[in-house]
């Protein structure tokens, strides 16, 4: 958290505000934000640059700058980006502030990077090719891309016995999906989160791809989920938490069958599902020892 829909919501909110602006000032309060890059180098790389566009790859926000370089922000677990007045007091948990000149309005605005747990990062890449190489080495396909289909998902999980929930959370398998949207997608597809990934049939892969896209699009439509720290760029809350089908609905009736929603720890994360709509995998039978007698044992006399 934030996941793809929350980051995409921020991208859509920030783009009309910051596209075309020039970076006037950069103040980093927490050097950990840009490590191992020294704070002074981050500031020097950004000052005076014009923001050409704001893009997204998985959970990363990508700011294209006028000199060909890119600023990459990753909010991690608790990060937020808030548009504030340039001279407003420092916010609680604020780790950095970027000030921009808006030429059309002839004024200034600022973007505060707030992060209670201090896991978020800021990086600068000198050109597009190095940025793309860095992203491709770490991220799987974009799930909302037209190219993402059952063939691509099937190839990514082929031969892997890990629970499908674990692989959906692996950013090298699929970019942008986290705990919320994995639970929602698996429910929509009728697949138990603990199913071994390699056991999914073709029809299930197709259903899962459609379900992933549907869950993410629903999250974007409702401007993200604010169950913990996530807020919009103006501080408002998202609405998707009011539309969850299973996530965070422990003990409540399944929207399809009425069975109570369950919760287990799967892939190291609290996982919500409906046992009736998402049948659990069958337990594997243990093989008998090679020297074990076959057939029924003789009756005692």
| pLDDT (tens digit per residue) in 168-197 | 999 999 999 999 999 999 999 999 999 999
Instruction: Please tell me which residue in 3, 8, 64, 101 is annotated as part of the active site.
Output: 3
Q: Judge whether residue 234 has pLDDT over 90.
A: yes
pLDDT bucket at 282, cuts 50 / 70 / 90: confident
- Domain ranges in the chain? 4-137, 150-274
Contact of 47 with 26, CB cutoff 8 Å? yes
* Res 103: pLDDT: 76
Domain 4-137 has CATH 3.20.190.10: yes
Angle formed at CA 135 by CA 133 and CA 139, multiple of 5 degrees? 130
Specify whether 59 is catalytic: yes
Q: How does DSSP classify residue 253?
A: B
Instruction: Please tell me which residue in 2, 5, 143, 163 is annotated as part of the active site.
Output: 2
pLDDT bucket at 265, cuts 50 / 70 / 90: very high
Q: Judge whether residue 286 has pLDDT over 70.
A: no
* Res 289: pLDDT: 54
* Res 299: pLDDT: 52
- Is 160 annotated as ligand-binding? yes
Q: Judge whether residue 262 has pLDDT over 80.
A: yes
Specify whether 3 is catalytic: yes
Interacting residues of 179 by C-beta distance below 8 A, sequence separation 6+ = 1, 3, 169, 247, 269, 270, 271
Contact of 44 with 259, CB cutoff 8 Å? no
Cα 241 to Cα 251: distance, rounded to the nearest angstrom: 16
**156 CB burial (10 A radius; 0-12, 13-18, 19+):** middle
Specify whether 2 is catalytic: yes
Q: Which residue has the higher pLDDT, 77 or 290?
A: 77
* Res 246: pLDDT: 98
Pick from 98, 102, 101: nearest CA to 111: 98
Pick from 169, 187, 185: nearest CA to 177: 169
Per-residue pLDDT averaged across 256-271, rounded?
96
Total residues belonging to the chain: 301
Q: Judge whether residue 259 has pLDDT over 80.
A: yes
Q: Judge whether residue 283 has pLDDT over 80.
A: no
pLDDT bucket at 145, cuts 50 / 70 / 90: very high
Q: Judge whether residue 116 has pLDDT over 70.
A: yes
Per-residue pLDDT averaged across 15-41, rounded?
96
Cα 280 to Cα 192: distance, rounded to the nearest angstrom: 5
- Is 22 annotated as ligand-binding? no
pLDDT bucket at 301, cuts 50 / 70 / 90: very low
* Res 21: pLDDT: 96
* Res 169: pLDDT: 98
Instruction: Please tell me which residue in 57, 59, 195, 231 is annotated as part of the active site.
Output: 59
Residue 97's H or E segment, with its range, is strand 94-102
N-terminal to C-terminal alpha carbon distance within the chain: 67
pLDDT bucket at 86, cuts 50 / 70 / 90: confident
Cα 273 to Cα 193: distance, rounded to the nearest angstrom: 8
Encoded tokens for 195: 């199913």
Specify whether 41 is catalytic: no
Q: Judge whether residue 104 has pLDDT over 80.
A: no
Per-residue pLDDT averaged across 80-92, rounded?
93
pLDDT bucket at 102, cuts 50 / 70 / 90: confident
Q: Which fold has domain 150-274?
A: Helicase, Ruva Protein; domain 3 (1.10.8)
* Res 221: pLDDT: 98
Instruction: Please tell me which residue in 248, 256, 263, 269 is annotated as part of the active site.
Output: 269
């Amino acid at each position: 958290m934030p996941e793809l829909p929350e980051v995409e919501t921020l991208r859509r909110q920030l783009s009309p505000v910051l596209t075309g602006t020039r970076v006037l000032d950069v103040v980093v309060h927490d050097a950990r934000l840009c490590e191992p890059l020294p704070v002074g180098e981050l500031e020097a790389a950004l000052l005076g640059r014009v923001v050409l566009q704001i893009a997204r790859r998985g959970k990363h926000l990508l700011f294209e700058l006028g000199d060909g370089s890119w600023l990459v922000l990753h909010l991690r677990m608790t990060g937020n980006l808030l548009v504030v007045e340039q001279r407003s007091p420092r916010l609680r948990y604020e780790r950095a502030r970027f000030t921009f000149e808006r030429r059309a309005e002839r004024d200034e605005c600022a973007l505060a990077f707030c992060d209670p747990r201090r896991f978020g990062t800021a990086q600068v890449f000198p050109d597009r090719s190095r940025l793309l190489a860095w992203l491709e080495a770490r991220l799987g396909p974009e799930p909302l891309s037209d190219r993402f289909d059952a063939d691509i998902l099937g190839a990514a999980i082929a031969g892997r016995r890990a629970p499908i929930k674990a692989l959906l959370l692996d950013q090298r398998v699929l970019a942008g999906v986290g705990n919320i949207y994995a639970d929602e997608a698996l429910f929509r597809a009728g697949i138990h989160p603990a199913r071994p990934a390699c056991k999914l049939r073709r029809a299930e892969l197709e259903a899962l791809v459609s379900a992933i896209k549907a869950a993410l699009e629903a999250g974007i439509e409702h401007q993200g989920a604010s169950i913990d720290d996530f807020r919009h760029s103006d501080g408002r809350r998202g609405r998707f938490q009011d539309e969850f089908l299973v996530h965070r609905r422990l003990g409540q009736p399944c929207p399809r069958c009425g069975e109570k929603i369950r919760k287990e720890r799967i892939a190291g994360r609290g996982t919500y599902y409906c046992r009736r709509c998402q049948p659990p995998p069958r337990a594997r039978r243990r093989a008998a020892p090679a020297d074990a007698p076959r057939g029924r044992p003789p009756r005692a006399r």
